[in-house]
Amino acid sequence: MFRGFFAKTLSFVGYTVQYGCIAHCAFEYIGELVSCSGPSMEPTIISHDVVFSERISRHLCRIQKGDVIIAKSPFDPKMNICKRVIGLEGDKVCTSGPSDIFKTHSYVPRGHIWLEGDNLRNSTDSRSYGPIPYALIRGRVCFKVMRKKSSCLIYMLPLKPNNKLLMFALLCIDCFAYNIEIEWSFLNVPL
């Protein structure tokens, strides 16, 4: 009896460790769901929106201008930030705020990127703390998951901020009936 209990316990622990390792690898190398808070990315990402951040682009150095990324905060390593990539290494970027009369420019150093929020008047970004190292990037935001009453809406974020009006397929999953419906919607993107 003790031998059977010990074998079942050992088997359970083995499966738990195995699935834990698979989950860790999936979250570390494939992607994860992230809840965003704060007004810095409004109207693209509103506070308490849930986004999916994929990690493959970071590992393959495929981050481009216009991508929305999740990165570690340069001030607090326990906190993540969600910003848009404005400049890559070697790019000339405007380092002054939107209300400054005289505009100043700087070059992004090698191995760094320049981040800014879409809500320039209410965002702490690279204009405050400078360019951040590429190593602080956690992942690139692929899509946003919106909760609306009993449904979940999933749609792709625009890759570039200069697209005025884009059409995306919205996948609606009705949580009560478990049926899948496809809807089409337009997403307004700020200039």
Residue in 11, 35, 37, 40 annotated catalytic: 40
Is-contact 123 42, C-beta < 8 A?
no
Is-contact 73 82, C-beta < 8 A?
no
Q: How does DSSP classify residue 140?
A: E
Quote the radius of gyration of the chain (alpha carbons, Å): 21
| Phi-psi category of residue 48: left, alpha or beta, with phi > 0 → left and psi -120 to 50 → alpha | left
Residue 40 a catalytic site member: yes
For tokens 């703390």, name the residue: 129
| DSSP 3-state of 120 | helix
Instruction: In whole angstroms, give the CA distance from residue 5 to residue 122.
Output: 59
Q: For residue 105, give both structure tokens.
A: 């420019």
For tokens 């929020």, name the residue: 117
Residue in 53, 57, 83, 123 annotated catalytic: 83
Q: How does DSSP classify residue 108?
A: P
Residue 150 a catalytic site member: no
| Catalytic residue set | 40, 83
